[in-house]
Amino acid sequence: MEERPGLAWRYVAEAGPRPVISRQQQQPGVRFSPAVLLTAAIALGAIAFGEAVTEAVDPRAGIGVHAVVLTALMVQACLVRDERLFRLLVALCLAPLIRILSLSMPLGQISVVYWYAIIAVPLLAGALAVARTLNLSRSELGLSIGHLRVQVVVGLAGFLFGITEYLILRPAPLIESPSLWEALLPGLILLVGTGFVEELIFRGILQAATRASLGRWNIVYVSALFAVLHLGYHSALDVAFVFAVGLLFGVVVRWTGSLVGVTISHGITNITLFLVAPFLVGANLL
């Protein structure tokens, strides 16, 4: 058995080989384990609590909560013998990691738009390490084209999602003027740093890793986790909207087996939200 990356994974490797559950072996009729369901519920609640502490108390306290959650997930993953629970725990490590990286990196003197690129690099490295630990294949991660027409339609829907979310949040633009050249690099950063990386984590790794333990309900669970990490926008309506979009993205990936459409849609949503819609409002076009 190949060595797993990182100290925690080394202990798991030394405990003996674990069976690899392929997508074909994951039958729709999943027998739900009480331990898995309880773990999933506690993890979701703990991550939500960490987000609440971050916003209501102090970001440093929020980092502490998420660090405790991450540590607990890793330690528990080293101790369990159930393959489904192991995969759930390891994949869930990415959720608190997202917030720890976004809050702890010294980015105060850097333009906000570049935060996404800087944070995306270690986050992508962590995501790839988790995917390797779980032996997820390219097809399981959705790294294929799939149904091209569906991908195009879903991708273009990102404009509608972006306008809708802007009407909910009304954020300030990330650039000073609606210039194509000024928006080009920030747009690429949002497409890759948020679109690809976040979809790889949520609709790729998390959705694939939880299929065996949560069955078809894994789309609902991953969407709830995705929505919880948007609590920082202080809008219950936005959390509900993000949850609904997450459900749609999850269904699309389940149906097509591809992240292409949802990656483009996610990227276009954020490009519209932060680079396009604010200027449409300023020009009385929205």
The H-or-E segment that residue 241 falls in is helix 236-256
Query: What local confidence, expressed as pLDDT, does residue 146 receive?
Result: 83
Cα–Cα distances in angstroms (integers) from residue 120 to residues 21, 23, 99, 124, 150, in the given order: 28, 27, 12, 6, 27
Cα–Cα distances in angstroms (integers) from residue 284 to residues 94, 158, 209, 246, 262, in the given order: 40, 21, 45, 30, 29
Judged on CB neighbours under 10 Å (0-12, 13-18, 19+), 277 is buried
Find, among 286, 261, 48, the residue nearest to 165 by Cα.
286
Query: What local confidence, expressed as pLDDT, does residue 218 receive?
Result: 96
DSSP 40-67: HHHHHHHHHHHHHHHHHT-HHHHHHHHH
**DSSP state at residue 105:** S
> How does residue 107 score in pLDDT terms, banded at 50, 70 and 90?
low
Does the residue 1 lie in any domain?
no
Q: What is the mean pLDDT of the chain?
A: 88
Does the residue 2 lie in any domain?
no
Q: Tell me the C-alpha distance between 228 and 44, whole Å.
A: 8
Query: What local confidence, expressed as pLDDT, does residue 283 receive?
Result: 66
- The tens digit of pLDDT for each residue in 78-95 reads 999 999 999 999 999 999
Q: Tell me the C-alpha distance between 233 and 246, whole Å.
A: 17
Does the residue 65 lie in any domain?
yes
Does the residue 205 lie in any domain?
yes
Q: Tell me the C-alpha distance between 137 and 151, whole Å.
A: 21
- The tens digit of pLDDT for each residue in 24-67 reads 344 445 677 888 999 999 999 999 999 999 999 999 999 999 99
Domain encompassing residue 69: 7-282
Contact between 151 and 203 (Cβ < 8 Å): no
Task: Enter the pTM of the model.
Answer: 0.87
Number of domain units in the chain: 1
> How does residue 177 score in pLDDT terms, banded at 50, 70 and 90?
confident
Question: Taking 50 as the threshold, does the pLDDT of residue 14 lie above it?
Answer: no
Contact between 261 and 252 (Cβ < 8 Å): yes
Does the residue 68 lie in any domain?
yes
Greater confidence, 114 or 185? 185
Contact between 19 and 204 (Cβ < 8 Å): no
- The tens digit of pLDDT for each residue in 28-37 reads 456 778 889 9
Does the residue 241 lie in any domain?
yes
Does the residue 260 lie in any domain?
yes
Q: Which amino acid is at 178?
A: P
Query: What local confidence, expressed as pLDDT, does residue 104 receive?
Result: 84
